[in-house]
Amino acid sequence: METAYLSTAYLAPISYYAKLLAYDKVYIEQFDHYIKQTYRNRCTIASTNGEIALTIPTIKPDNSKCPVKDIRISDHGNWRHLHWNAITSAYNSSPFFEYYEDDFRPFYEKEFKFLVDFNEELRQLVCNLIDIQPSVAYTTEYKTDFTPSEHDFREIIHPKKDFNEVDKSFKLVPYYQVFKEKNGFLPNLSIIDLLFNMGPESLLVLEQSYTSALL
């Protein structure tokens, strides 16, 4: 059985969901130390002017080694309103935004205390919409030793790392994007970019991107 280890992630990139599809078992890390400027609290979407990052503000922990499971969301800056406006502006002309917007809007109207809870409820929604049923569990301690059948992607899937260089198991198949003619194809954005542009065919893109990696 092949197992993958992933960090928690806010509307994670497509490569993250490819792991959820490809691996027999996935563990989502709860005990890593919280690190800023990662997908834990950041996602990247495509706007008319190119990529933009949306970041969830968090409450600074008292302990610099605070586990991610204890990180709380801050209400600073009216971020929920800003994020939903940015998502709507970016995707309201995409083929499937109107179809899915009522599923996502409540996440920007309801307050969540903890980052991992917010991320996980979103992940479960996305998996249901794409129609994938990964076998997911949550870590009970921070693991550093892995067997050959265990694969650690916790720091591999990272906004500052080129997935083409660090993740040879993922080869993204290009798909339709609303602003492709203006910006060119923008790879490995948040899963919502794939979902809002491709709808039910999102699963096919994930399958092809995983299959291509095995060739």
The structure tokens listed for 170 are 């993922």
- Measured CA to CA in angstroms, residue 119 lies from 42, 43, 68, 123, 142 at distances of 10, 11, 12, 6, 19
The closest alpha carbon to 132, from 9, 1, 14, 6, belongs to: 14
CA proximity to 69, closest of 17, 33, 42: 33
- Positive or negative CA dihedral for 72, 76, 78, 84? negative
Pairing of strands 150-152, 3-6: parallel
**Beta strand ranges found along the chain (DSSP E):** 3-6, 25-28, 42-47, 50-55, 136-138, 150-152
pTM of this structure: 0.95
- Closest Cα to residue 71, out of 33, 19, 15, 128? 33
Tokens (6 digits) for 48: 């008319």
Inter-axis angle of helices 115-130 and 202-214, nearest 10: 90
Number of separate domains in the chain = 1
pLDDT at residue 169, as a whole number = 86
Tell me the C-alpha distance between 98 and 189, whole Å.
19
Contact 190, 91 (CB under 8 A): no
Q: What is the pLDDT of residue 214?
A: 59
Residue ranges making up the domain that contains 102: 3-214
How much is the pLDDT for 195? 98
Per-residue model confidence (pLDDT) at position 43: 98
* Tokens at 34, concatenated: 């919280």
Q: Which stretches in the chain have pLDDT values below 50?
A: 215
pLDDT at 211: 67
